[in-house]
């Protein structure tokens, strides 16, 4: 157990990518991305994929390695990431993992709850209901079928909500029945580094990032993806709002404000998720790197 996975967490736009690259360079190692939005090669601008300069500064894995047409689950990511970590730990004692997808990071660190396979038609039907009727009827359905999951998962996250519902509907059992069973041990230790900032600063950074995305061509990127808007990978902030603009439901100005608002909501959910984790070691979003490196050097024993 001399292998260490240093995990960088925090809300979107907080500076995780920059810190992870500094850490990778400091330890002469490589980076595992667990940002589920950045897996897809067709989605660059709207997912804030690291720039070519950033990708060249440190070796990254699981960045734009999939297509939006692939059916890629958190369970498959767990298997792929653990396999990659085994390969990397042969030549490195420290690996960096970074990303805003708490569920994906947790799958690598602690293991995933495994669920029976259910018909893909159930998910397709639920996605259609979401598109036609909005999220509230699905939330009410989960409350009816599985009150424990309704009270514990992020019910305003369409992916999590639909996942819980498809298990309930497809198995006739509750989603919560399949959770929290014993999981396989890991062959590495994990140290979690969290970046934090006052809410006003965090929201200002988010708003600025959205403006930059629009300047860099997010509208054109979304337009290319519009014909496939029903795909699961595209049910995400930054694209959904622009699809509404293309449908004539939003003005462009309103769509942009909705992207900012929904990204702020997403960041709030990330903060809530991370607050539950008592193992995270928190630093200001603009830390002196020496503070973090000193902390890690003391704890890498």
Between the CA atoms of 82, 87, 89 and 94, what dihedral angle is there, to the nearest 10 degrees?
-70
**Order of strands, sheet of 31-33, starting from the edge strand that comes earlier in the sequence:** 60-61, 31-33, 94-98, 4-10, 189-196, 280-284
DSSP assignment letter at 50: P
pLDDT attached to residue 1:
64
Task: Please give the average per-residue pLDDT across 133-155, as a whole number.
Answer: 93
Please indicate if the annotation marks 167 as binding a ligand: no
For the chain, the C-alpha Rg in angstroms (whole number) is 19
pLDDT at 152 over 90: no
Residues 230-282 have pLDDT tens digits of: 998 999 999 999 999 999 999 999 999 999 999 999 999 899 889 989 999 99
Reported as a single tens digit per residue, the pLDDT across 268-285 is: 989 988 998 999 999 999
- Is 100 labeled as ligand-binding? no
Burial of 163 (0-12, 13-18, 19+ CB in 10 A): buried
Q: Determine if residue 222 is labeled as part of a ligand binding site.
A: no
* pTM for the predicted model, two decimal places: 0.82
Please tell me the class of the 120-178 domain. Answer: mainly alpha
**What digits encode the pLDDT tens for the residues 178-222?**
886 777 889 999 999 999 999 999 999 999 999 999 999 999 999
The CATH homologous superfamily for domain 4-112+183-299 is P-loop containing nucleotide triphosphate hydrolases (3.40.50.300)
> Which residues of the chain are in CATH 3.40.50.300 domains?
4-112+183-299
| Residue 15 annotated in ligand binding | yes
Asked if residue 99 belongs to a known ligand binding site, the reply is: no
Q: Which of 48, 131, 62 is nearest to 96 (CA)?
A: 62
Where are the domain boundaries for CATH 1.10.20.140 in the chain? Answer: 120-178
Query: Is 189 assigned to a binding site?
Result: no
């Amino acid at each position: 157990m001399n292998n260490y996975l240093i995990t960088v967490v925090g809300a979107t736009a907080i500076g995780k990518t920059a810190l992870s690259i500094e850490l990778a360079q400091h330890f002469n190692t490589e980076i595992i991305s667990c940002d589920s939005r950045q897996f897809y090669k067709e989605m660059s601008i709207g997912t804030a994929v690291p720039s070519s300069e950033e990708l060249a500064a440190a070796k990254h894995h699981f960045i734009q390695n999939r297509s939006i047409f692939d059916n890629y689950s958190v369970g498959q990511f767990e298997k792929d990431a653990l396999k990659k970590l085994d390969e990397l730990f042969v030549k490195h004692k420290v690996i960096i993992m970074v990303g805003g997808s708490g569920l994906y990071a947790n799958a690598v660190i602690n293991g995933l709850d495994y669920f029976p396979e259910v018909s893909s038609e159930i998910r397709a039907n639920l996605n259609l209901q979401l598109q036609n009727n909005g999220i509230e009827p699905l939330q009410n359905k989960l409350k009816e079928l599985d009150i424990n999951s309704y009270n514990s998962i992020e019910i305003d996250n369409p992916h999590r909500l639909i996942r819980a519902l498809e298990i309930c509907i497809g198995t006739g059992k509750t989603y919560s029945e399949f959770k929290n069973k014993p999981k396989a041990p890991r062959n590495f230790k994990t140290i979690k580094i969290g970046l934090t900032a006052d809410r006003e600063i965090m929201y200002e950074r988010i708003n600025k990032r959205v403006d930059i995305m629009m300047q860099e061509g997010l509208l054109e990127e979304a337009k290319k993806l519009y014909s496939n808007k029903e795909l699961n990978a595209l049910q995400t902030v930054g694209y959904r709002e622009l699809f509404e603009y293309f449908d004539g439901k939003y003005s462009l100005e309103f769509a942009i404000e909705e992207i900012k608002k929904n990204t702020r909501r997403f960041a709030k959910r990330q903060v809530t998720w991370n607050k539950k984790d008592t193992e995270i070691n928190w630093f200001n979003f603009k830390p002196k790197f020496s503070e973090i490196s000193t902390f890690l050097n003391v704890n890498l024993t």
